Amino acid sequence: MRRVSIFGATGSIGQNTIDLIRRAPDEYDVVALTGAHNIEQLARDAIELNAQVAVTAEDDLLDDLRDALSGSSVEAAAGAAAIEEAAHRPADWTMSAIVGAAGLAPGLAALEQGTTLALANKESLVCAGELLLATRKAHGATILPVDSEHSAVFQALIGEDLAAVERVIITASGGAFRDWPLDQLAEATLEQASSHPNWDMGQRITIDSASMFNKAMELIETREFFGVSPEQIETLVHPQSMIHALVGFNDGALMAHVGPPDMRHAIGFALHHPTRRHIPVERLDLAAIGTFEFRAPDLRRWPALGIARDVMERGGLSGAVFNAAKETALDAFIAGQIGFLAMADVVRATLDTLEASDGHIDATMTLDNVLQIDHLARKAARAIIEQ
Ligand code: NDP
Ligand code: MG
């Protein structure tokens, strides 16, 4: 039996992971499931999968969780520290699918016990890529990317020599506003930004897809995880979302990873790695699809892509500033405090502010320093929003 834990079990990635585990329950011994607000789902899944412990991030919801678990043998716990404690419980495979920087500390704790970390939480790599990879190395752990583009790159690189890689092309659907007139973007509403043409995902990443902050994060993620230089990373708009990424080699060959826009593929790949198993995703009928389209990204439409370039060049803790500012700006957009295009302005202004302050961005990458700069950047971003 493989011991598995799922952090962010109640979310979109978490539920897709449970869907795959549920198909072969005898193969898995579920250690921990975590969530935040969705207590009912968390308790139902924890009881069904006979988890050791269910943890909510919300201290106030501990009693509700206890009630929902009553009569079962599943332990209940609450709070960020309890999530970290659950991540320290030995597991062979751990899904990191909490949304936001809150996924970093549990991810590091899971690596410390030598797990195979299936990493959906891209924020960890953006905020603290170097730290995550160093922790993996120090504890003989493994990280498998779950973001579909990075799973695609990982798969295209199997059996290849990284030194022969010329470029990595990350595709982007273009999100909700791909074809909107530029002059209307500033007026885009929350509802319009919250629907994705191809993927069914959590609300935050869906809005980040419309603004391409999601793609911006993924460019940084690519640099951190695969160690390629910023100049080697390209973005390509591909409205069908079926080619997830391409890797270009020094002989001119391009290896493309093609599949339906269904996260269970990338999750299943990470779950069964290094083998491949049947996964119940749609099989593509390419003749019926007929055409794949490609376009160069327009930086006026998606300023986040330009900001990501600057962050990759800057290095240090600027990824943590970028992520914290982006999360704060996204909160403000969701709350109706700023417009859609203002999110990029807030992120850029926060980076400028932190850059101008005394060397925080160049501090050593420790968890404490990342959390500290995350805090400072959120404060600076809020001040910019309230100006
Ligand atoms: P969701 O919003 O659907 O789920 C987020 C999960 O995190 C939920 O379980 C939620 O609990 C929990 N959560 C929220 N806030 C906290 C917190 N402060 N502390 C601990 N747990 C918390 O997100 P997704 O599943 O869409 O995304 C998860 C991660 O995977 C993100 O980093 C995202 O960028 C990445 N990703 C997602 C993809 C997708 O297709 N959805 C594709 C590629 C990457 P609850 O719901 O109970 O409140
Ligand atoms: Mg992705």
pLDDT digits (tens, 9 = 90+) for 129-142: 999 999 999 999 99
pLDDT band for 96, please (50, 70, 90 cuts). Answer: very high
- Give the fold, CATH level 3, of 315-386: Rna Polymerase Sigma Factor; Chain: A (1.10.1740)
- The answer, yes or no, to whether residue 147 has pLDDT greater than 90, is yes
Nearest to 154 by CA among 309, 273, 236: 273
Q: Which of helix, strand or coil describes residue 90?
A: coil
Q: What digits encode the pLDDT tens for the residues 309-326?
A: 999 999 999 999 999 999
245 CB-near residues (< 8 Å, 6+ apart): 149, 150, 152, 153, 156, 168, 169, 170, 171, 256, 257
What's the 247 CA to ligand 1 centre distance in angstroms? 28
Q: Over the stretch 244-260, which tens digit does the pLDDT of each residue have?
A: 999 999 999 999 999 99
34-38, 197-201, 340-344: least confidently modelled range: 197-201
- Say yes or no to pLDDT of 197 above 90: no
Please tell me the predicted confidence (pLDDT) of residue 5. 98
Candidate from 7, 13, 265 with most ligand 1 atoms within 8 A of CB, to mutate? 13
What pLDDT does 371 receive? 96
Residue percentage of the chain with pLDDT more than 90: 96
Q: How large is the angle between the packed helices 122-138 and 367-386, nearest 10 degrees?
A: 170
**Residue where the block lists tokens 């010329």:** 166
Instruction: List the residue whose alpha carbon is closest to atom 9 of ligand 1.
Output: 8
Identify the nearest ligand to the CA of 126 by its number.
1
323 CB-contact burial (10 Å; exposed 0-12 / middle 13-18 / buried 19+): buried
Structural domain spans, the chain? 2-145, 150-289, 315-386
Burial label for 334, CB within 10 Å (0-12, 13-18, 19+), is middle
For residue 4, report the phi and psi dihedrals to the nearest 5 degrees.
-125, 145
The pair of three-digit structure tokens given for residue 328, joined into one six-digit string: 């704060």
Q: Looking at residue 136, what is its pLDDT?
A: 98
Whose CA is closest to atom 43 on ligand 1? 147
Ligand 1: atom nearest CA of 205 is 34
> Among 64, 42, 63, which Cα is nearest to 53's?
42
Which pLDDT score, from 0 to 100, does residue 277 have? Answer: 96
Distance between CA atoms of residues 76 and 6, nearest Å: 15
CATH number of 2-145: 3.40.50.720
- pLDDT tens digits for 97-110? 999 999 999 999 99
The pLDDT of residue 75 is 98
User: Nearest C-alpha to atom 23 of ligand 1 is from which residue?
Assistant: 202
Token pair, residue 223, equals 């640099």
Is the per-residue pLDDT at 360 higher than 90?
Answer: no
User: For ligand 1, what atom is nearest to the CA of residue 217?
Assistant: 34
Give residue 198's pLDDT: 87
d(CA 31, CA 26): 14
Q: Is the pTM of this model over 0.85?
A: yes
Can you say whether the dihedral through the CA atoms of 354, 358, 363, 367 is positive or negative? negative
pLDDT digits (tens, 9 = 90+) for 266-277: 999 999 999 999
Rounded Cα distance between 247 and 282, Å, is 24
The residues, ordered by sequence, that sit 6+ positions from 277 with a Cβ below 8 Å of its Cβ are 268
**Which residues are paired to 258 by β-bridges?**
243
